[in-house]
Amino acid sequence: MERLKAILLLCAAIAFALSPVLSPGFSGFTGDQFPVPQPDPPIQPMGLTFAVIWTVIYAWLIAMAGYGLLRRADDAAWDRPRAPLLLSLVIGAAWIPVANLSPLWATGMIWVMWATALHALLRAPARDRLWLQAPLGLYAGWLTAAAPVGTAVVATGYGATPEIWVHAAFLLLASWIAYAVARFSARPVPFYLGAVVWAVLGIVIDNVTVGRWIFAGLAGVVLLVLLPVFGQHIRRFARG
C-alpha cells in the first residue's frame, strides 16, 4: 500500500504541475468574475510572486515525490504525510480550471488544499528535511497566504465593504495562522514561513507601486512581525 501511495503521489504532483500548462493559467481572480469588479485588489500580491514561487513549488514537489518513490516507498515515516498531500494535490490539479470558471467553488477548494497540505507538513518526519519537509512547507505556506487572499477578493467581489478593511482582516488572518503554526510546531518550519513572507512582500510591493500607502503600511507591519520569527526558524533549522 505504501508503494501504491508513493506512485499515486508522483502522478498527482506531475498532474498538479501540468495544470497551468494545460489551462489558461492563473495569476489571481480577474475583475470581471464578480458582480463588483476587482481590477486590482489591495490584498493580491504582484503577479511575479505567483510565477516565481509556483515554479519552485511544482519542481520541488515532483522531486520530493520521485525521491519518495525511488528511495522511501516503503518507509512508514514518509508514508504518514502521503494521504493528505495526495488529496491536496488531486484537488490542486483541478483548481486552476475551476478558479477561471467559479471563484466561489475555487475558494472552498483552496481551503481544503490548505488544510490537507498543512496536515501533511505536520505529519512529516524530522529527517530528510530538504527532500520532504521543505517542499511541503513551501506549498503549505503559500496556501496559508493564498486561501485568505482569495477569500478576501471573493468577499469584496460579492459586495463586502469597505474593501480595504475586509482585505486587512484577511491579511491579518493569514499572518495569525502563520504565526500560530510557527509558534506551536514541534519543529522549525522556515520554508513554510518563507512562503508566507514572500506573499506579504508581494502585497507590499504591489500596493507601493500603485500608491495605496495605508494597505502597504499594514502589510509592512505584518512583514516586520513575521521576519524575526522567520529568522528564528531558519537558525533552528540550520542547527538541525
223 in Cβ contact with 194 (< 8 Å): no
pLDDT tens-digit readout, 12-69: 999 999 999 887 776 667 767 899 988 889 999 998 898 899 999 999 999 999 999 9
Domain hosting residue 13, numbered range: 2-239
239 burial level (CB within 10 Å; 0-12, 13-18, 19+): exposed
* pLDDT given for residue 22 in this prediction: 85
* Cell reading at 50: 505567483
* 200-to-33, 45, 210 alpha-carbon distances in Å: 24, 7, 16
63 burial level (CB within 10 Å; 0-12, 13-18, 19+): middle
* pLDDT given for residue 30 in this prediction: 73
Distance (Å, rounded) from C-alpha 31 to C-alpha 111? 21
Question: Which portions of the chain are predicted below pLDDT 70?
Answer: 26-28, 31
Give the residue carrying C-alpha cell 540550520: 238
Number of domains in the chain: 1
